[in-house]
Amino acid sequence: MSGVNTLNHFNRLGEAHMVDIGEKVVTTRVALASGEIIMADSTLERIESGRMGKGDVLGVARIAAIQATKRTWELIPLAHPLLLTGVEVELTPAHDPARIVCRAEVHCVGQTGVEMEALTAVSVGLLTIYDMCKAMDRGMLLQNTGLIRKDGGKTGLWERDQASCPPSP
């Protein structure tokens, strides 16, 4: 009863359930997500110069993002635990406005996609930056988090229209 236009996390009675992926074909799955955290110029300057009091903000955020991909199934109630084959996280400082852009690409060979893992990586990476910098800048804003591309499975390749993507740094 599942398909591209159906809500497959609900059974025929409308109750939430975990989708049975046992009959799905094993394929290589890839997802790329991105988002950004807008901040004061002075906050970005301190991150770039390594003068934020809690340590290497981008290094800690990268590790947090990678860890988050492996725990997505614990955070998202109907997500499956997956054996990931690779996670790449990029955190790129940019200006006008001052921001850090996070991009996460997640890979696995399995029976379900890794979109939620990529989105979770971006979200937790950006939240970690907020946590490490909030004493200096509580006005930071997380925005534009979304899926950029996914490939694999029955639906194959999907890409977001580039006009709706956040600007690259």
Integer angstrom CA distances of residue 142 from 39, 110, 121, 146: 9, 31, 13, 12
Q: Which residues contact 42 (CB under 8 A, 6 or more apart)?
A: 136, 137
Integer angstrom CA distances of residue 21 from 7, 9, 167: 15, 12, 36
| Contact between residue 140 and residue 52 where contact means Cβ atoms under 8 Å apart | no
Q: Which of 41, 131, 151, 161 is catalytic?
A: 131
CA distance 30 to 11: 27
Whether the link from the prior residue into 167 is cis, omega within 30° of 0, is no
Q: Annotated catalytic, 131? A: yes
Q: 3-class SS at 166?
A: coil
Give the residue numbers annotated as catalytic, written as ranges: 131
